[in-house]
Amino acid sequence: MTYPETLHYLFNKLPMFSRIGTAAFKKDLTNTIRLCESLGNPQNTFKTIHIAGTNGKGSTSHMLAAILQTAGYTTGLYTSPHLKDFRERIKVNGHLCNEQFVVDFTERIQPLIDEIEPSFFEITVAMAFDYFAKMKVDVAVIEVGLGGRFDSTNIITPELSVITNIGWDHMNMLGDSLEKIAFEKAGIIKKGIPVVIGEVIPETKQVFEDKAAGSQISYAQNERYVVGWEYEHHQLTVEVAEKRSDNHRHYQLDLPGIYQTRNLLTVLEAAHQLYLKGWKTDHATVQKALAHVKPLTGLHGRWEVIHHDPVVILDVGHNVDGMAQIKEQLELSDYQHLHIIMGMVKDKEIDAVLQLLPRQATYYFTQAQIPRALDAESLRLNAERFGLTGSSFSNVNDALQNALSHAHKDDMILVCGSVFLVGEVTM
C-alpha cells in the first residue's frame, strides 16, 4: 500500500471515534494488550509519563515533552486527535513519525487487524509504542485519548501519572457526575507510581485519595500559585510563587492562552516530581523550554494567531470548561468587534456551551466534515435561543472567508467549538 492508501484503510476500515462516536469506544484493554504482545510489548522498552484530564492534557503533554527535550532526552509524544496530519499523533523530538513506518506497520499488523477487529485508536496506540521503541526514545509522554481506566494507553507503567482536572465532557461514556468522571480518569493511577493532580474540587478529591492509596499524590494547586501575569501582543508572562518557600519565578510562555496559567502549575509540579526521581528537569531547563513549546513540539490550536489585521485565532476549546476559558480570554483581549466561527459535534453539551458565549459578536455557524458534526443550520437555530445571531456555512473555510470580508482590521475572528473544525482551516 502507498501512504495515502494506508491512511484510507486506517480511517475507513477501523472504528474511529471522531466519525462514529461511542461505538468506537471499548471498555476493554484486551485488543491493545493483544496487539502489543504481537509486537513484543514495545511499551516496556522505554520510560513513560501518562497524562489524563478533561481539559489541558494536550497542552500539558506538549509542555512536558518540551521540557524533556530541552533536558537532552530523546522524547516521544503521543497525542490525539490530530489537526491536519495523522502523524501529528506520533512524534519524536517534535518530528512527525515516518510515512513509510506507518505503511510498514499497518501491513505487518494487518492479519491481526482482520482477526481481532480493533478500533482506530487501539491501532494508533500500538503503532506509537512500536515507533518509540524503534526510535529508542529515552521517554515518551503519553496523552490519554478518552477517560483513563479503559483507555488504550492504560497498559503502561509510567514514571509519573498526571491528571490535569475533572470537568463535564463525554458524560455518555464516563458517567453523569464529576465523581464518576474522576473515577474513570483516576484509572491511570498505578500502585507505587507518584501522581500529580492539577486541579481538585471537593467532589473529586476523595476519589483520587482512594485510588492513590499506596501511591504518592501531589496537588499542584497546593504547591504553587500564580502571583500575576501579563498578557500583551498575544504573549503571556507568568509569575509563580512556591507556597513552601515563597520563592518567586517568572515564566514566559509561547502558548498565550490565559488558561495556560492553570496548566503551568500542573507542569511545574510534574517537572518537580520528575526532578526528585533523578530527571534533569531543573528550573532553568523548565524556563527555557516553556518559552519554545511550539517550535520544539509542533503544538497548534491553543489560542493560536494565524493572521493579523484582522487577527484570526484558532482554539480547540469545545466543552463547557474549555469555552469558559475562551470566554475569560476574550474578556482580556482588545478588539473593535468580535466575529466567532464555530461548529460543534452532536454529543457535546451544546446548550451549556452556547449560553457562555457573548451576544455582542457576529456568528458564522459551520460544521466539520465528519458524521458526528452537528449541521450548521441546526446549530444556528439553537444559538438563536441564546441571543446569538449569524449565518450558517457548509464548511469552515467558507465561513472564514466571509468573516474576513466583513471584518475591520482591528476586529478579532475566533474559530472554535471543535478540534476537527479547527483542523480543517486552510488559511
Residue 346 and residue 255 share a domain = no
Residue 47 and residue 23 share a domain = yes
What's the predicted TM-score (pTM) here? 0.91
User: What is the spatial distance between Cα 213 and Cα 241, in angstroms, rounded to a whole number?
Assistant: 29
Q: Which three three-digit cell numbers place residue 9?
A: 484503510
Whole-number pLDDT of residue 169: 55
First-residue to last-residue Cα distance in the chain: 31
Type of residue found at 63: M
Residue 314 and residue 183 share a domain = no
Residue 292 and residue 347 share a domain = no
Whole-number pLDDT of residue 123: 94
Residue 106 and residue 140 share a domain = yes
Taken in order 293, 153, 418, 19, is the CA torsion positive or negative?
A: positive
The answer for residues whose C-beta is within 8 angstroms of residue 227's C-beta and 6 or more apart is 239, 240, 241, 248
242: domain CATH number is: 3.40.1190.10
Residue 25 and residue 43 share a domain = yes
Q: Strand, coil or helix: what is 197?
A: strand
What are the CA-CA distances from residue 71 to residues 11, 57, 77, 263, 302 (Å)? Answer: 36, 21, 15, 20, 24
397: domain CATH number is: 3.90.190.20
- Phi–psi pair at 248, nearest 5 degrees: -110, 135
- Phi–psi pair at 90, nearest 5 degrees: -130, 105
Residue 260 and residue 312 share a domain = no
Residue 151 and residue 30 share a domain = yes
Query: Count of H helices and E strands in the chain?
Result: 18, 17
Whole-number pLDDT of residue 174: 61
Expressed as residue numbers, the domain containing 216 is 3-297
Q: In b/e form, how buried is each residue of 212-225, taking b as 16+ CB within 10 angstroms?
A: beeeebbbbbebbe
Among 297, 313, 345, residue at a domain's last position: 297
Residue 80 and residue 215 share a domain = yes
Under DSSP, the state recorded for 373 is: B
Residue 231 burial by CB count (10 A; 0-12/13-18/19+): exposed, middle or buried?
middle
Whole-number pLDDT of residue 297: 97
The answer for residues whose C-beta is within 8 angstroms of residue 102's C-beta and 6 or more apart is 3, 6, 7, 86, 87, 127
Please identify which residue in the block is written with the cell numbers 520528575. Answer: 274
Domain count, the chain: 2
Among 245, 264, 297, residue at a domain's last position: 297
Tens-digit pLDDT string for the chain (427 aa): 999 999 999 988 776 544 444 444 557 899 999 999 999 999 999 999 999 998 899 999 999 999 999 999 999 999 998 999 999 999 999 999 999 999 999 999 999 999 998 888 999 999 999 999 999 999 999 999 888 888 999 999 999 999 998 875 544 456 568 888 888 899 999 999 999 999 888 888 989 998 888 899 999 999 999 999 998 777 799 999 999 887 899 999 999 888 899 999 999 999 999 999 999 999 999 999 999 999 999 999 989 999 999 999 999 987 888 888 899 889 888 899 999 999 998 876 899 999 999 999 999 999 999 888 999 999 999 999 999 999 999 999 999 999 999 999 999 999 999 888 999 999 7
Among 263, 280, 297, residue at a domain's last position: 297
Residue 117 and residue 240 share a domain = yes
What are the CA-CA distances from residue 394 to residues 122, 342, 368 (Å)? Answer: 32, 12, 9
Residue 272 and residue 348 share a domain = no
Whole-number pLDDT of residue 115: 92
Residue 313 and residue 293 share a domain = no
